[in-house]
Each structure stands twice: as structure tokens, then as C-alpha cells.
Structure 1
Amino acid sequence: MKKIWRELKSQNVFYYIAAFSIIVILIITVLGSYLYRFYYRTIYTDFLVSNEEHLRWEMNRHENDIQIINDIVYQMGLAAEVTKFKLSEKPLAALQLEKHLFQYTTVSQFFRLLLYQYHEDDYLYSSTTSVDSDYFAEQGCVMERMDAQTVKEELSSESKELRVFPEQSVSGFWVQKYIGNSRIVLYMQAIPPKFQETLVFFVPDTYYDSLMINEAEDLRSDFILYDNEVIVSRESRETDHAALLELIKESGEQRQVKLDGEKYLLTVQQGDSGMLYCSLQDMDIFYDKIVTGQWGIIGMLIICAIPTALLLVVLSRKMALKVRKMNQLLDSQEETNYNLNSIENGIQMLVEANEQKEKENLQLKKTRFIRNFIRNDFKNQEEVLQESEKVSMEIKNSEYLTVLLGERSDSNENKAHTKMLEVIAQAAHLDGYGIHLVSSSQSLFVLFSESRERIEETLGMLFSIGKDCYEEFVMSVSNYHKDLTEGSAAYLEADTAFDNRFLQDNNKIIRFEDVAFGDTVNVLPDSYLQKLRQALRSRDKAGVERAVEDICMRMTKKSPSLPMFRLLYNDIIHVLISEWKAESAGLESIYNVFTLSQCLTIQDFNDFLCEACSMIMKSRPEENVDRSRLVEEAVHYMEENFSRTELTMSALADYLHISSVTLAVEFKNKMGIRPSDYLANLRMEQARELLVTTNMLIREISLSVGYEDDHVFTRRFKKYTGKTPGQYREEHM
């Protein structure tokens, strides 16, 4: 070890080891303060978020119930046949009104008693009986904080606003038979449009006990305020309401406040009804978490510091030995040492050799890409773009055309091809590549650019190179295309133009648009392809043969040219491949764009089309569903994809190629539970595990188990476990 250390001092690797040691020491020094600050921010952020989520859940539930009140008021305004009457004049109408009120009272989980009064009548009506309004105010319902006269005035008030009276006790034989000894919050609302009727809602304290539930150790107080008054509160410590109102008036933002000499986190949110929702949580909860965590940080730093010194020694020795071995590998004849300069020189030579190899590999990849592009071996434009990025070709948002070159020369072929590739590589805002077609003694180029002018300029340069290097030279080009899945059509256009070389002036570029043949849509209407599709779907071999025969007869009758026939056949094949997504590897033995260009007779096309249809029918899966494996496959798919928010029973049925009804029946028969319930249970179990084993936020866990709305997740989790996610985590951490 001492010998190695003396050698290191004479080599530059020693300085790297020393620098590394100093950096590690600085990292350990800074790590403690950073971890503390990071831990502090994380705990504080989680503290803020947990209070916001707690209060948001309370607000959403309460606002939903307030909306129910508004809906009932609106519906009663439309029920003119059972309202606005005097009992003395229409005693039977009271029965209809009571039935109407009964349907609201029985289904409500918000209010326990609903009363109706017509201002011109002397009676109040509940879902079971009626009571004189004077008796009600004076004896039947005695309010703790409202005298009888105030109650009467409020019952006959035509105020358009919702009136809410703070939580208070109520006595009186008549009202107690409905709500017992509960404290209540009273809601009153005049019924539009004339506001001559009033609905009274009695909300018991048990509702707010369940809404504003808090664990004792949370030290959290919740308040609901309306019209600058505390309506309901559930407090862990007695709070000065007047001081609280002043704090809320100062700012509605979440912040730390001091109240009655204690520090709290104040969180305020406002609902659509105009009510303010407020929570106060003692900051001691936050400070306790910080104190608990900081001792863990100190202990971790001590544990890390002790082995770090030993690790530095071991790493220094290993690093020196690795440097020596690398020098031996890079230059076995030179005396081995610890000099990093020798390693740098050796690596540079390896990099240069690797770059040359990558350049050659890139050319092979581009050749393969162009061939696959022309043969339409890609499923869609996205796959074309992905593959083009792999070969460093920028073709997004580009137009393109295909170029075919025919030449005859003794020695300049490779030289000319190389020059053309250099021109393409050097052209600005243009990309492309060229390959040799050995079977036809042609060269094929595809040029991509957002500018047609740039493509035309490059075409001129390629044409000039061809004329200079070859004894005889012909260049044909296709039309411009935008759709990246039309590569084979572009090739056929260029091939069609090339076939007309004996009728054109070869001293200029032969363009497909100069030899085009008319509109292919009129040659073969869509009805012929639709007939073929239907026969394939029903696996009707005779029907397929008749459809193919009709297509050929139609095209024979229209007498299209041979090049147009090739283009039409190419369109037919790709429509069928796209329709049934047949495996392209199987169809390659029957069809590709290069063999298509060799078709010479209608019989050739007929044979190719029949054989392709036969392959497609064989590749289509059977429609019959294996009932014995259906449920197992459904369970497996849900276990693999439960985190996807778009996973529904309809999507699962589509994946299994069955109807939703079939899925529900088969699953229930075998598992004894509906598939939707199975999925929900699966998500809840995963959520329970994440709550205990991770520090993820509630909304992050909600998304990870397939719920976009964390409030929906919270409600379903509480229904499943009896506890909110926050409560469950605290109990099991």
C-alpha cells in the first residue's frame, strides 16, 4: 500500500483522489443542513396540503347538501297544485302537500325535518301533520337563541336570500317528537317567484358531528360561517369567535396566526353558497413532527460519516488499480503506470473507431428505413416518425416525393451515388436518402422537406450529377405527398413515370403529374370495397371470390391503364390490411410494392387479391368466446391495468370482444361479485398498501389507483374501510 501511495504522488491520479476526498467531506458537511431544510419544507407542505384537503372535503359535502336545499325550493315553486292554499278552504290539499314533503324527508341525509308555510295561511305543514304557526312559535318549537316573535317574522319573511340560524338547542313537545333532544341549525328559504311561501329545514347536530369529525390528537377546530357569524363549530380548544372573524377579514389565505396566545394554521375556503369554511390546527402538531425527524437526520449523518472515511481509502486504492489495468489494456508494450493521460489518448482512439462504425451502421439503418417506408411496412404515421428519429432523419411536418434513377455506366455508379448522398446531407432544411434496387437496376431516393422549393433545387442538383456521371441517365419523380403512409403509392407514381421514359424527353426530369391518367375514384366506387369487407367479416369464401370478380370486371369495363391498375390494387390491399390489422409478415409472401410493379395482366391482380383475402381471413381471430377462460382473462387484465383512469367495464368488455352484459353475467356466476365491484376492491387494497408503505400524497395515490378525482377516491375509501385515507395512514404508520 505504501509503495502504491508513493507512486501515486508522482502521477496526476493522486490529485484526482485528493480532490475527490475533499468533495466528499464538503458533501457530508452540507448534507446535514440540506436534509434538514428539505425535511422541514416537505413536512410543512404536507401539513398545509392535509389541512386544505380536509377542509375541501367538508366544503364539498356541505355545499352539495346546500344545493339539495336549493333544488327542493325550486321544485316546490313548480308544484303549484299542492301549495298556496288555506287549510280552512282546501283541507284535502294538505294531504297532498304532506305526501309531497314526505318524499323529500325520507331520502334526505342532511335535514331531519322539513316544514312548509304559505304566508296567507295560519298553519305549518310537515310530512305527517300540520300545526298552527302561533302554537309552533310559542310552544311547539322553542328556540334557544330566537324568541317566538322572531320565529314568526322569519316564517313570513319574503327575503330572497337563504337564511341560516346558528346551531342552538330546541325544546317543545311538537318538534322534539321529530328530532329528539338534538341541537339544530335552522335553514329558511322563501320560494320563488313570488316569495309568499317559506320552507324550513331542521339540520341536526349529528350531521355536523359526522361532517366535521376530527381526532382528538389532531388539535384541529372546524368552523362554518355565514353572513359574518359562526353557524357551526367543532372545536378542540375553546376559541374566541370574534377574534377569529377579525383574522378572516384580514386575509382569506392559508397562513399561520396567533389566537389566544397560541399559534395555529388558519385555512379558509369559500363555497358557492356564500358560506365560509375555516379550520384552525395547532402548530404544535407540525413542530412535534419536525423534532421527531431531526433526530433521525442527526443519527443518519453520524452513521454515514464513520464508514465514509474507510470508503475513501478503499475507493482510492481500487481507483489506482483500475487506472493501472486500463493502461495495461490500452498499451501493453508501454511500462504500466498510473497516468490518466495515457488512458485519455487510448479512449480517444476508441471513440474515433466507434464513430466510424456508427456512421456505417447509420447508413444501413437509413437503407432499411427507406425500403420499409416504400413498402408501407409501418402501421401509422406515428411509427414512421419514431423510426425516422432512430436514423436521425427529420421528416415531421414535411412533404416528400420519390425519385427513380435509371443509368448505364461502366465505373461511375458508386461515385455518382455517393455525390448525390452528399448533396442531400449538405442541403439545408431537407432530409432524405437513396438505395439501390438490384432487381430492377435502378436507384431510389426519397426527399423530405417543408419547402417544395428546397426539394426542387435538390432535384436539379441530382439530375446534373447523373448527367455528368452516366452515359445514359433517366430520372422520374412522383407527385408530392403529405401522408407518411403513402410511400408505396409515391413509389408506384415514380415507377409509372419511369415506364413512360420512351415517350418523354430524357433530357429533363420525368414527372408523374405529366403522365397522370385521371381520377381513380370513378374507376372503383367504395361500394365494391364495402362488399368485399362484408364477405371477409362473415368468412364467406364464395362471397369473397364474387366480390373480387366484381372488382376485376368493374376495372376491366373501365379499361384503366396498367399503372392505374397498380395504384388501385395498392389502395385495395392497404385498406384491407388497415381494416383487419393482418400481420404484414404473412402478407409479404404474397404482396409488396416492388412485386406489384411487375404485375402485367389482370389475372395477376386477381390471383394476388384472392390469395391476400384468404390470408386475411385466416389471420382474423375466431368470434366464439372461450367462456372457461373469460373470467380469468378479465381478472388478469384488471390486475394489470387497474391504475388506468379510463378502465371501465365497457372498455374491459371491448378488450375481451364481448358485450358488457355477457361480461357481467359470466363474471358474477364464477366469482360471486360484479366485475365493477371487483375492480373497486382491487383499487382500494392497492390504496391501503400505498398509504402504509409510501409517503405519496392522497391525490397522487388517487391517480395511481385509477381515480382522477381525489374527492371521489376519499369517499369510496371511507366507505370501504370506514376511515378517510389520512386517518387510515395515521393508524397504520
Structure 2
Amino acid sequence: MFNWSKKKSKLLYKYLFSYLLVFMLPFITISTILYHISVGKLEKEIIRSNMDKIDQIKDMTDTRLSELNSLATKISYDHRLTPYMLTEPYYDQQAIEELIRYKMSNSFIDEIFLNFNESKDLVYSSKGTSTFHTFVQSTYPVKNKDIEALNKGMQIQSNPLSQIIDIASKNSNGKRVIAYSYPIPIQSSSPYGTVTFFIKEETLSKLMKNALGDFEGNSFIFDADYNLFASNENGVQIDLDFVKNISANNDGNTHKDFKNEDYSFSIARSQLSGWTFVSVMPTQQFYGKMTSLKYFIFMVLLGLAVVGITVVCYLSFKQYKPIQNLAQYLGNKEQMNHSKKQSNEIELIRTKIESIYEDSEFLKRKIIAHKPFVRAQFLTNLLKGEGKEHQDIIALANDLKISLRGDSFFVIAVSYKGKIKKQETFTYWKKIVETIHEISHEECCGYGVELVHDYTAAIIVNIKDDSSNWNESRQLFSHHLIELLKKHCSILPFVGIGQIYKEANKINRSFIEATASIENDILHHETHAIFFEDLSIDNDETIWFPEESRLKFIQSLKQGDRVVAKETLAEILDSLAQKKFPSYMLKCTCFDLINTVLKTIAELGIEHNPEEVKRLSDFQTLDQLKESATIFIDQICLEVEKRKESHNDQLRDNIMEYIQKQYKHHTLSLEMISDHFQISSSYVSRFIREQTGITFTQLVWKLRMDEFKQQLVNTNRTIKEIVLDIGYFDVSNFTRKFRKEEGITPSQYRKYHQQNRDDQKAL
């Protein structure tokens, strides 16, 4: 059916065996439990049935005895059965008839008779009046050994009394009766007589006849002193004293061994009479009754096992084929990649899945940890003009949960450049950074990012496509931003606003314009937001190129944005080409443009090569000037980028040096570093992650761990002293984290490394 190699066949057998094991273990467990539950339940039901029958006999007996109690009460208050009525010749016959009616009203009673204290020798029964001697000799013959006991029972003065009386008459077939005597009146402190009921033993035996059902066994009724009242034997010979002992010391259902045979006892006690009701049967009878059930359950489970094994084998063969194909595919990939071959298909798949899972988890952690940085980096790249196509930018923004709902954008630059003079102003700056993180107002949504250079931040604002007036939306959003800044800062920052551009990949143009507006704001000391297009108002009459273009060109050079710089240069030269200037005037304008470049270089402090300046000024046409200026722009922007990188490197070195000095202080925090370097804590966190690849917390933990290990191995200081020295107060928490990371406790780490060091010295 399948053409597999021997190696793969072994794997298939293991695979098949695993499926069988998975099926058989729960199947056997469940089958065993089901079997024992079914058999055990039947056994319990049989025992419970026997117990119910014993309880039923007990309840019926209690009911009958309660009826005797009620009957005795009625007799005690019956005026026709008073001593006077029974002794008067005229009324004695009525009294006898009344006793007969009482006897006939209860089938449980074999005889009823009265005895009064004032005439102790007389007995009044349903058969008439006689002396006690005549009663026990002729009327109801009692064996001599029980006559005295019966006489005493008929004269009780307190609680009811039950006695076992042997009858000697042939008519009673030598049976026994139970004499149940009540003092009358019932519960009286001064009884005047006794009413006695005779109950035949065979009456109780009939009640017990169905106690065992079809089982062989015996049933017994004992009084409070464990004297046998009645019994019913059915094919089981068992010692009566053994039954009494078990009945006296146990209750409910129990199993006991007698002469190497196990017997089941069902024991019930009456709270009313104090009698004990017992049934005894061999326990093995249960299993005889359960043989058919066991056989049926066994056959059903066997059938299920056969069907289950058949299905498991079929599914194993069927499902192995895709696994084999997958293993072959991965094996071919491994071979192509010259990877290490795995021992079998399962191992190959497992290794591959583990590798994919680990890569996935690693990437997930990286994404989560870098998300703030990625967001900031994404916004920064948009400001630099390093974004991709518009649709790609929108897709990436959606992944970062940045909602760009339209294709119209502008940038607002916020800066404290020149205003940061004291700690209070820096506090305002931190509030500004928090405020501009994300701002929404009517049809605009802005996302802010901090730029560490000169305490400047930028807000990229997106306008909805359905906005009725983009310029009005821009003004309303700008006004809303100014109001937010006023709430948090008594010293307002400079605010510059770039023009609106279509598509996200042109955001850097608006950013350059916004920063150019700030430059103009600083020069003119304005206190309100400056829109870039307003910069040209004072230059309408100039014969030179537009002032806003000059500012935009200068700012693009300062930002190192060669794309915008070249684009602005081209716009300036194209505008000059379209104007009908005299040649000398055009020459002067071009030199003014060259002078703007040189002044910007001087402001940036960039050294220039005189030969390059000479080549820049030695032009004959606008195209030659554009070509030379483009080369010069590339050099300037490259130098600006290098300075930014150098600034970042210097900042990184300063921050790392500061952390190296302060990491042992428990007060070290992002806020502490932020205050020291006068930059926001969010920027510090993002900057450390960007420069080191780990978070601030991870960096401090690593430094403290390295120091802790060094002191642990090379000093004799206690663990608590070292933990406190590196900046922790909670020793137990540090120890728990250490063990989680290293897999051993600090004490074990110290012992292990000191032992290795001693071994090396010994060598």
C-alpha cells in the first residue's frame, strides 16, 4: 500500500503504537471504572435493598408497637374496663366483650388481658376472668420457668416491659410469645393496673419472611438486651452469639468473616422499642447474581476495543501520509540549506516548529519592546523624507495604530530653542512632549515626535478627506494646540506651521517650512504661531527670489534634507529663469543665492574648501550653477548628518557614563537621567533602546547583575550586603529574580565558581 523505507516503517510503527497507547490507556481506565461502577452499583443496590427491607420490618414493627401504645392508652381511659366494671356481675360481661373488640381491632395481638393492683390474683382477658394461676395453667399455658417473670411483668409500675414467654400448650405448637406490658393509666405516677399484650413469635417471623428475597440467609429480631425475639432461617447455619456480637457493635451494612466465609449484615435499630433487626447472608451470593451482568459488560467492552483498535490503525495509516509528505518537504529544504539532518520525520518537524515558534516569540517580544521606538522612528523618517510610497506609508501607519485617514498633511514644529534657561522651563518641555503625543480636534488628527536637537518637537497632522476647508481646519487645529500649550506652560514655545501637502511622502516639505517659520519667529520674537506662507508678506516688492523659498532652502540645509534642498533650489532657479532680468541683475541674484549657502555653512560651523567655493561661483549658466550647487548641497547635508550622528554618539556616551556611575543608587530612574541631561524621559527611554538594543530597566539590571556576580565570586561579603550595595532593598525579590535567570541561588553560584577557581589553582 505504501512504499516506505525501513527507517520510516519503524517510525510508522512507533506512531501506530503511540495511537494505540493513547486509545488503550483511557479505554482500559474508563472500562475498568465503568465495570467496577456497574458491578459495585449493583452490589450496593442489593445491599441497600436488603437494608431497606430490614428498615421496612423495623418501621412496620414500630408502627404496630405504637398502635399497642395507643391501644393501651384507650384501655386505660375506657370506663367499661375499670376495676369496678370488671368486678360487678352486671357489667363484667360488657367489659369482656370490650376486650374482645380491642383484640380483634389489631391483628398483631394474639391475646390481651388486664390485671389490677387491688386484685392482683385476678386476670381479665378476652376469654373471661380467672385467677393468675388458672390463666397460666389452662387459659394460656406458660412454661413454669417463665411464670414468675410474667407475674412480675404484669405488675410493673413504670415503663412498658417486653418479655419472651415460652408457651407449653400443644395448640401453640410449642411457640414463643412476646408479652408487652403497659402500666395504666399510661405515663401516670400512680398506676392502678397493667394491660398486657401477647404477640406470637410467628407473627414477627412472617414480617421477616421477605427480608432476604431470593437470597439464602437468616433474619433476627433482638430486644434491648439482645435476647432473641424472633428469627427466620433460610439455608444458612451461623452462630447466634456471633450474630449478637456483630449486631451489638455495628450498625447499617457491614461485612464480617465467620469460619473463613464472608457474610453481609444489614442491621437496623428501633428508637421506639430499642429492638434490633438483623439480616445475615453470604456475601458471595452477590457475585452469583452479577455473573450475567459481568459477562454482558465484558462482551460490550471487548467489542468496543476491537472497533477502536481497527479505527486507530486505519486513521494511523491514513494520517501518517501527510506527515510523511511534510517531513520529506522539510527534509528537502534542510538539505538545500545544508542544515543538520534530523534522525526521523517527527524530530525534523519538531525542530522546525520549535525554530519557527522561537523566532515568532522573539519577534513578538522585539515588536512589543520596540513599538514606541518604531513609532517615533516612523514619524521621524516621515519628517526626513525617508518614507516610501504613500500607500506603503499608510499601511505601515495602520500597523503602528496610527490613523492616517486622508491624504492631506501638514507639520507643526514646536520649539523651546533659545528659551531653555532654567529647570522650570524644562519641566514645561516635558509636559509639551506628553501633550503632543497624540492630538485630535474636529477634522484633524496629529501625532507628535520629539527631536532632541534644540528642544524641538514636530506634530504630523492628517486632515480628513471629507474636510470642507483644509486651511480652515489647519488654523482651527493650530489654535487648539496653542490653547493646550497655554494650559500646561506659562512660557510658550515657538510654534511654526508648514503648508498642506498631498500624500504622506511629502511631509518633509511641510516640516522644513515649519522649522523655517520657527527660525523667523525667533528673529522677530513673535509669541503666536507663524504660518509659513505669512513669511512672504513683507517681501512682495523684492526683485530677488521669494523670501519663503530662501528660508525653506536654508532650513533644508540645516536639517540635512538634501531632497527638499535640491527641490527648493530648482524652484528658485526656475523662477529666475522665467523672469526677464538683465544679465547683470540675474548674476547678482545668483550670487545672493550663493551667499545664502555660504552664510548657512558659516552658521553651521562647517569648514569649506576655497576651491569648491570658487567652482560654485565660476558659472556661466543657471544649469552650471545648479549642477555645482547640487554637489555642494550633498556635501553640506552629509556633514549635517555626520554631526547628528556624532551628537547622538556623544549623548549616548554621556548617558552610558552617567548610568555606569549611578547604577548602584536605588534612586536611579529615567526621570533622574532626564533631569540631568535636560531631555524628556520618553526620549531617554527611546534613545537607550535605539543605541543599546535593550531597555533602560534591562540595562540597569545587567550592570547590577554583573557587579553582583563579580562581588559574589571575588569577595567574602554577605549576599545581603552585596544586594544593598548594588542598589536593591528587597533581598528576597532579588534572589528570586537571580535564581530565575541563572537557574541556581546566589549561594550556589558563589560555591560553584569558588570551587572552580580553587580547582584551577590546584592544577
The TM tier, using the shorter chain, reads 0.3 to 0.5
- TM-score, structure 1 length as denominator? 0.39
Q: Which has the larger radius of gyration?
A: 2
- TM-score, structure 2 length as denominator? 0.38
